[in-house]
Structure 1
């Protein structure tokens, strides 16, 4: 086996492993971004724990087919970047979508979220879901509010009884 083929097989294995491990995989067309813009996008994604890569489409196609992710193959045309989210399912879509609002050259193409293929519109809907931390904070806030109101009410009753005595 020649060396070039070994390199490609190793790269396909690497891509397959990343696709298998990722909770969310978002594809985007990045053509037209400047180096500075791309660097900023990569920084934003890295800070959120999202891996951002550009692979040859043919290698990604091979890896996707091996995993039974044939639905994404049709989106692997032209320059395609891949954002891989391992923990927060919404992070890759949210960050790419937010960046695309300010940089029209970046275009969301598709994604795979927990094994289901999403088109660009579904990816944008996914991007509108707040992060897990924000949702937890809202939940805790809504739980805390009635408890705080109850404590305020009980304190007011206590003060009223003390002033009546």
Structure 2
């Protein structure tokens, strides 16, 4: 890669680090190309991304960003997993690491907060933003549905009583 290509890569990585919610760093030594492609597909499906770049260029791109704390993890063959949703990238990374022991999660960063491997694992167990939104909508809708059920319950009970009397007269 020539100097201009490296400058473009560093610039794009810097934009990623400034605008991302979470970055996870892992070692990928021993994974096949097919396994890395599978990881890329799973990350894309979850709304996250994967980047493999030279550690030296990544360190340059990290200068002045909030996730600069991941610099210590950039040794050896590393892969960067990142997403806007603070849970998406860790969740997919940990699930993939369970299936493939060659992917070793080293740590990461969520904003200014540095995460070790246990921190990434804790993030992976949390519900995603979409799941939290669904729970919130369910909680908001629950009182309204209960009020509707309570208001229609007396009429329904009365209709069942009338139906029972009607069926009793027909049976006799």
Q: Confirm or deny a common fold (TM above 0.5).
A: yes
Q: Which moved more, 1:13-22 or 1:73-82?
A: 13-22
Deviation at 1:115, TM superposition (A): 2.9
Question: 2:47 — aligned with what?
Answer: 49
Cα gap change, 1:77 to 1:144, in 2 (>3 Å): same
Distance in structure 1 (CA, Å) of the matches to 2:96 and 2:37 = 12
Question: 1:130 — aligned with what?
Answer: 127
Cα gap change, 1:92 to 1:115, in 2 (>3 Å): same
Match of 1:44, SS?
helix
Larger radius of gyration between Structure 1 and Structure 2: 2
Matched pairs, number:
161
Deviation at 1:68, TM superposition (A): 5.9
Deviation at 1:85, TM superposition (A): 0.8
Cα gap change, 1:49 to 1:70, in 2 (>3 Å): closer
In structure 2, runs of 5+ residues without a counterpart are 163-172
In structure 1, runs of 5+ residues without a counterpart are none
Decide which of 142, 145, 150 is 2:142's aligned counterpart: 145
Question: 2:106 — aligned with what?
Answer: 109
Distance in structure 2 (CA, Å) of the matches to 1:60 and 1:99 = 23
Decide which of 7, 11, 28 is 1:9's aligned counterpart: 7
Instruction: Return the TM-score normalized by structure 1.
Output: 0.85
Question: 1:90 — aligned with what?
Answer: 87
What is the aligned-residue RMSD (CA, Å)?
2.1
User: In the TM superposition, what are the counterparts of 1:48-87 in structure 2 within 5 Å?
Assistant: 48-67=46-65, 69-86=67-84
